[in-house]
A and B are shown apart, each in its own frame.
Chain A
């Protein structure tokens, strides 16, 4: 069964440092997403990406965040200057269209110290 792959599975970083979270979506999917889940809270939408550009973003996705699809397979989330409150599980997802639901990756647990 096709899957979404995320690396690393866990990243610890110091406050103020930049981090890049990586994802390889399912190859025939057209839409890519990042979500986050703070421990004990709900899954929150960050951004959706289609045709090499951002199609929607949430209020959480401020200037500290950026996404990129640098080649035909990878999809990355960069946080420029991490804050303590950025500590969360970050999930990448992909789909052929949201009406069909998404497939999620297993997540990157980001810990900012």
Chain B
């Protein structure tokens, strides 16, 4: 099983739509979780951390289910500028490296 697994997409949605991405991770010792955004040929940028209780940042909501080893990202009222690849990222306790999923590509159209 891959350390971090995501559906590669692409997800094609119209502006204003709500879209959800899912991610699973293999190591139950994982402690920190993030969603990063990557535009084409650019560096990954931290979108938000994911907390056990779930958290929201504007139009973005992240959820964590430790029992199922599952992370989600919900984007409401999609904008054209949301078009990017969304990377699920996990850190295992005691280690400094972050492990990246392959990413889910989102295309928002007018």
Chain A contact residues, CB within 8 Å of chain B: 31, 33, 35, 41-45, 48, 50, 55-56, 58, 89, 91, 97-107, 109
- Taking CB atoms, residues of chain A closer than 8 Å to B98 are 45, 98, 101-102
CA gap between A24 and B70 in the complex, in Å: 35
**Chain A: minimal CB distance from B64 (Å):** 14
**Chain A: minimal CB distance from B16 (Å):** 29
Q: In this assembly, does B34 line the interface, its C-beta being within 8 Å of a C-beta of chain A?
A: yes
Check A98 against B44 for contact (C-beta < 8 Å): no
- Taking CB atoms, residues of chain B closer than 8 Å to A41 are 102
Interface bin, chain B: 20 to 34
Partner of A99, one of B31, B87, B101: B31
Chain B contact residues, CB within 8 Å of chain A: 31-32, 34, 38, 41-46, 49, 87, 89, 91, 95-103
Main SS class of interface, A: strand
Partner of A42, one of B34, B45, B102: B102
- The residue among A89, A91, A102, A103 with the most chain B CB atoms within 10 A of its own CB is A102
